[in-house]
């Protein structure tokens, strides 16, 4: 199935949970904040929230800034 992540179409296996997807990208779940279909997920939800076909994801993190 397809999701739109950070503006890019991504092919992922059905049943993928947010925590799985973050790990597949090689990211630390504690450094990532996730907005899924317009809703900010709590970190506790990452392990249970299953991505759906057509889900729109934003993966955000802190970067340098003033």
Partner 1 sequence: MLTIAGRKFRSRLFGGTGKFSSPEVMKEALAASGCEMVTVALRRIDLNNPADDIMSVLDRDRYLFLPNTSGARDADEAIRLARLARASGGGEWLKLEVTPDPRTLLPDPIETLKATELLVKEGFKVLPYMNADPILALRLQDAGAVAVMPLGSPIGTNQGVLTRFQIEIIIAQAQVPVIVDAGLGAPSHVAEAMEMGADAVLVNTAIAVAGDPVRMARAFAMAVEAGRIAYEAGLGAVSKDAAPSSPEDGLGFLR
Residues lying near partner 1 in the complex (CB under 8 A): 5-8, 10, 25-28, 30-33, 35, 40-43, 58-66
**Residue 56 burial (10 A CB sphere; 0-12, 13-18, 19+):** middle
CB nearer partner 1, residue 13 or residue 40: 40
Q: How far is the CB of 14 from partner 1 (least distance, A)?
A: 20
Q: How far is the CB of 31 from partner 1 (least distance, A)?
A: 6
Q: Give dist(CA 13, CA 32) in Å, integer.
A: 21
């Amino acid at each position: 199935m397809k999701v739109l992540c950070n503006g890019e179409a991504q092919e992922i296996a059905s049943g993928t949970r947010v925590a799985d997807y973050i790990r597949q990208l090689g990211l630390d779940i504690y450094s990532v904040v996730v907005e899924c279909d317009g809703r900010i997920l709590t970190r506790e939800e990452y392990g249970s929230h299953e991505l759906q076909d057509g889900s729109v994801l934003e993966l955000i993190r802190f970067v340098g800034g003033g």
